[in-house]
Amino acid sequence: MAEIRAVDDAGTVVYVPRRLSASLAADLLKRFPRLSKILLPSSVFRAVSPSVLEGLRSVGVEVVPTNRARGRPPKYSEDVINTICLRYTHGDSVAKISADLGVPERSVYYILSRRGLIRRR
């Protein structure tokens, strides 16, 4: 259980990055006798059996999905993306938008295509 770790010093909150089975839950209760909360990634939480969740709830352990963002963060803020889309729909050229905002033309085209405002070839 190397990847499983206590979030606090008392061992009452534990992070489990993999599927929570009944046997793993029993192991966690033995390893962390004061356990009150188990944190799971959202994708893993959805795969946990309702009977496992109910069993843990019956002994006072709450199982909670974490909402941590995954993957690479966006390079451009939502404000910049909205500005690009708004200016394009108001008739500004991609070259002008790119020059004014300091965003490469290729990125402007990509953003517009992702928003459905322009078709990629």
Rounded to whole angstroms, the Cα distance separating 37 from 63 reads 6
**Would you call 36 helix, strand, or coil by DSSP?**
coil
**pLDDT per residue over 30-50, tens digit each?**
999 999 999 998 888 989 999
pLDDT interval class at 9 (50, 70, 90): confident
CA dihedral in degrees (90, 91, 95, 100; nearest 10)?
A: -40
pTM, rounded to two decimals: 0.56
Res. 2: pLDDT tops 60: no
What is the pLDDT of the chain when averaged over all its residues? 91
Res. 1: pLDDT tops 50: no
